[in-house]
Amino acid sequence: MTELMMLTSVLDRAVVADESIPCRKDPELWFAESPADVEDAKQLCRECPVREQCLAGAMDRAEPWGVWGGELFVSGVIVARKRPRGRPRKNEIAA
């Protein structure tokens, strides 16, 4: 719930209509466990009018996790992709 409160505080300062801010519709998506859902959230962020402010605020706060400003934070660091749960394969599967 704390993550949602921080997201709300960033967005409350935004001077735009709620319908133009994608995370207002489904805030849980920005803290999803599924890599596909995380990619969906990142895609929705790309056209958000407060994307830059959201990302700057997340970096200032060193957000522990979630999608902020179109970037995925894990342990306070921006990472490119969310890895699925479980152990990685020992060998690559031949195509």
Per-residue pLDDT tens for 33-59?
A: 999 999 999 999 998 999 999 999 999
Helix (H) or strand (E) segment spanning residue 73: strand 71-74
Higher local confidence (pLDDT), 70 or 3: 70
Share of the chain above pLDDT 90, in %: 46
Residue boundaries of the structural domains of the chain: 1-79
- The answer to whether the annotation marks 74 as part of a ligand binding site is no
Residue 32 confidence (pLDDT): 92
Question: Average per-residue pLDDT in the chain?
Answer: 81
Q: Give this prediction's pTM.
A: 0.68
6 is in an annotated binding site: no
Helix or strand or coil: residue 78? strand
Q: Is 86 annotated as belonging to a binding site? A: no
Nearest-angstrom CA–CA distance, 29 and 72: 12
Residue 89 annotated as binding site: no
